A and B are shown apart, each in its own frame.
Chain A
Amino acid sequence: MDFSDTPAEAAFRAEARRWIAANAPSQHRVALERSSFGVLRVGGDEAEKLAICRDWQRRKFEGGWACLHWPSEYGGRDAGPVERLIWEQEEGVYGKLGERFVIGQGMIGPTLMAHGSPAHKRRHLVPMASGEEIWCQLFSEPAAGSDLAGIRTRCERTAGGWRVNGQKVWTSGAHYSDWGLMLARTDPSVPKHRGLSMFIVNMRSPGVEIRPIRQMSGQSGFNQVFFTDVFIPDEDMLGASGDGWSIALTTLMNERQAVSSSMTTGFDDIFDFCLRFDWRGGKAIDDPVVRSKLATWAARTSGLRFTAMRTISSAARGEVPGPENSILKLVAGMTMQEIAKFALDLQGAAGMVASPEFAEEEGKFQLMLLRSPGMRVEGGTDEIQRNILAERVLGMPPDHRVDKDVSFAALMQAAGDAARRS
């Protein structure tokens, strides 16, 4: 049990700190500190934000600080899990500039490393690490989210490759992505998990149409993506035909880890607010009811932080992280919703005010209120995370299923009949 640095770790930390002090875009520091979950306050429009993010990513890459834990031949540093943690701690607020690269670097990169051909790795990993190319995850569809294996987007054989038709939805960052990792159906005649394959899609291909979706928070972080006779060359299939589901599981497992390392609950925000905010003749923090809530959120936030660190310790000992990681997003999502709601409650009727000029803390908690429901859905809903914990960690029997061993074509038929009957 040692939470402090070994001499080697301390040296690594000092080196990282020096490099960051000399290279980080300190002109954005204040704006980054004011940025809360889902709201990046640097730059003006989306293009300018993206340029600032890319610039920091490229500088890190050139300095040897991008994707630390990746092999150096792919642009990483061959660093261990603890060094990666130290880097994240030192990068601090500048880490917020990395959000747009998480899907690629955190989820798709590891998938390519596990299942890609040597040519895939050579072609894609370095530009992914440097931020030159951005990736999106083309998994969810209108009819398949939690039940991801129910996707309908079809890939059919054609000369030299595949022809795609169908629709993806909730694709975060599709509008600024260069590449996408797409799960599609190549064989509807077998049960649903078996007829899937994984493809690398150039988002600039003819026939790809991206339409932004306006989120409940008013922002447009995700999109609908339509495919009309889009051609994918043979060499852009990942693994073999029919391997799609097992490859998708690699991505999803990495998703749980990638989102969890950057998990925030909003605790620091509410704590600072309660310190300052006048309430019932004192500061909010002096009230026992407020304290009780703050203490619960503090304990959860600290618990998440040290749970992530325990996972890193096990990884450093060579253990493979398992489904336990599901707790991180589950707890963070729930806590952030509670915090946002309570911050507004303290403000009374003024809590309704969202305009940054008038609202407390520039409307930070109002934004948090409207962004946090998404957190309980994205990357697997709360219910799916609980199912995973109960079934795969606690050994509960799997859900009762009616779709096993039935061909996907027959399932579609049955779903159509049920919809007509209701």
Chain B
Amino acid sequence: MDFGFSSEQEELRQSLRTLLARECDMGRVRAALDGRVAFDEPLWRALAEFGAMGVAIPEEYGGLGLGLLELCVIAEELGRAVAPVPFSSAVYLYAQLVLAFGSERQRRDRLPQIAAGREIGTCPADALMSPDRTSLRVSRGRLTGRVPMAHDGLVADWAVLPALDEEGRLGLYLARLSGPGAAREPLASIDPTRTCASLVFTDCEVERLGDGVEMPDLSRVVDTAAVLLAFEQLGGAERALEAGCDYARQRVAFGRQIGSFQAIKHMLANMYVAKTLARSNAYYGAWAMATGHGELPVAAATARVSATQAFQECAMNAIQVHGGVGFTWDYDCHVFFRRSNALALVLGPLSTWESLLVERLRDGARTGDA
């Protein structure tokens, strides 16, 4: 038994943190926040060079073939940095879907592009969480309809989408967003460091994802994404807590550091508690995911619920600790706050995961007794 990352994984963390310190300081995040860029392309290239997109993609498809635990470490660091890149959509969702359900040709065509950072993909949250409610239609290989909201939809080249064919059968399709028949309409987001768009398809040529005719079960991809997002949220929570602690030590009121007031101390302690529980649950999810353990459904839902709550609490209270400056555009508190509230929604909201967690506990193993 060992409930932690290996020393190699910790080294990976350190080198990525160094890269992000150079390539993703708050100035760079703010370029996206202020709408000067849609996403940080130099950072995207640096991450590709580092191998971040390909860690969990097998070598035969152009990746590093390391594993999902390494991807957890990367997710946590990107979360810490509030990186303005479409990493979660491209890597946890799109790439995992192509890897899990794509045909051999599709994997060979698409995955090396993702691993090299040459293409970006996405999959809308609703499409993953409730594919059967899709309003998209496919007829003779052409897709028509509208996706109201796709995270990172403005910058993605590809999307995986569920649609009904002429006979009303549900299937997953691979759609090129930059080709004919596809259009996107930008949407303002609560978190402008990541884009949102509506996707509109009119007789857009698409291909079925995979060779099969059955609609695949998405739950494993959903659970994997939930664990990886939990690590991003955890990274964000930790950074927001650190920002709160730093300010509490510097700021003086009534002749003392505000961190010496118990109301502030206890708020910070509660943030620490939420973040620590989230970390432990994320590790549980990481283990279940990496080993393909039968507890993954419970572990993933637990990790997602815990991390969503922790990041939201830490980001919200980091503002409170800062007082008035916390409410300004110039201080970074709102960057965390925005991201915490966006990440809570990118893969089904908290209420959905709460319900899933309880259903899964009811239907299967309890919190994982050995």
Partner of A307, one of B276, B287, B302: B276
Partner of B354, one of A1, A3, A285, A295: A295
Contact between chains at A313 and B276 (CB < 8 Å):
no
Contact between chains at B277 and A300 (CB < 8 Å):
yes
Q: Assess A394 versus B287: contact at CB under 8 Å? Given A299-B306, A302-B367.
A: no
Q: Which of B320-355 contact A (CB under 8 A)?
A: 351, 353-355
B2 to chain A: which residues have CB within 8 Å? 1-2, 313, 316
B357 to chain A: which residues have CB within 8 Å? 294-295, 298-299
Q: Which of B233-269 contact A (CB under 8 A)?
A: 241, 245, 248-249, 256-257, 259-260, 262, 264-266, 268-269
Shortest A68–chain B CB gap in Å is 15
Give 1 or 0 for each of B353-370: 1 = CB within 8 Å of chain A CB: 111011001100011111
Residues of B in contact, count (CB < 8 Å): 56
27 residue pairs from A and B, CB less than 8 Å apart: A1-B4, A1-B6, A1-B69, A1-B283, A1-B287, A3-B3, A4-B1, A6-B1, A85-B1, A271-B361, A288-B355, A292-B355, A294-B358, A295-B353, A298-B358, A302-B280, A302-B367, A331-B273, A331-B277, A385-B269, A386-B270, A387-B266, A390-B269, A390-B272, A394-B272, A397-B256, A397-B260
Q: Which of A43-94 contact B (CB under 8 A)?
A: 82, 85, 89
Partner of B273, one of A309, A313, A330: A330
Q: Which of A67-126 contact B (CB under 8 A)?
A: 82, 85, 89
Partner of B366, one of A268, A296, A324: A268
B290 to chain A: which residues have CB within 8 Å? 1
Does B281 reach chain A (CB closer than 8 Å)?
yes
B361 to chain A: which residues have CB within 8 Å? 271, 294, 298
Partner of A291, one of B4, B249, B264, B358: B358
Contact between chains at A296 and B305 (CB < 8 Å):
yes
Shortest A72–chain B CB gap in Å is 23
Interface centre among B3, B290, B309 (most CB of A within 10 A): B3
Contact between chains at A305 and B249 (CB < 8 Å):
no
Considering the complex of A and B, which 6 residue pairs feature the smallest CB-CB distances, nearest first?
A: A303-B277, A295-B354, A390-B265, A306-B280, A386-B269, A396-B259
A residues engaging B (CB < 8 A)?
1-6, 9, 82, 85, 89, 267-268, 271, 275, 285, 288, 291-292, 294-296, 298-307, 309-310, 312-314, 316-317, 324, 327, 330-331, 383, 385-387, 389-391, 393-400
Q: Assess A396 versus B265: contact at CB under 8 Å? Given A1-B2, A299-B281, A314-B4.
A: yes
Contact between chains at A3 and B287 (CB < 8 Å):
yes
